[in-house]
Amino acid sequence: MNEKMGFSLLELTFVIVVLSVLAMFAIPEYTKTHREAKVAVLTDLRGKLINAVDTLKTASNIESRKQTISGKTYVQYDVRQSYLVSGKLLDPTEICHILGLTPGPLVEGEMITSSDGMYTCKNVSPKQSWIKMNRLESTDCALAYTAYYHNGSIANVDIKLTGDCLE
């Protein structure tokens, strides 16, 4: 009895070629879908931030919700926390704080990672802060919060996705 065990070299080569062709189509599609999901999370955060800014703007019209500490105005957004405002709009240092990503406001120039490790927040200047999702394939994709000042108070804000997350 002369029985052969195993596969021939030709059979193994054929299987490797078939798997390579499948991987050629599947891996880019997985990567694209994975990235799109993360951009969708940033888009969701954008919606939450817009809602929080609008709610805070409304709350800043109620005198009982305002307090001044060391010359800075804070508005009580919910029962737990007050946030720094300029005029009636959220100060850029507070974007990650109001979303619950950081325990407090940002310090200018410093990057802070959220408690769950999913996001990095940075206050670039008194006019701009951003949120980036960690482990996102594109390092240029961020949620930016830009404040426009008039007479020392924020007159308008722009909340948008920036970088190549719009491709």
The number of distinct structural domains making up the chain is: 1
How many CB atoms sit inside 10 A of residue 18's CB?
10
Q: What pLDDT is attached to residue 166?
A: 61
Q: CA gyration radius for the chain?
A: 24
Categorize the per-residue pLDDT at 53 as very low, low, confident or very high, splitting at 50, 70 and 90.
very high
Q: How far apart are CA 44 and CA 143, in angstroms?
A: 10
Identity of residue 9: L
**DSSP code at position 134:** T
Asked whether residue 1 is domain-assigned, the answer is no
Q: Which range of residues forms the domain containing residue 43?
A: 10-166
Average pLDDT over residues 120-131: 94
Query: pTM for the complete prediction?
Result: 0.76
Asked whether residue 143 is domain-assigned, the answer is yes
Question: In degrees, to the nearest 5, what angle opens at C-alpha 112 toward C-alphas 110 and 117?
Answer: 160
Asked whether residue 4 is domain-assigned, the answer is no
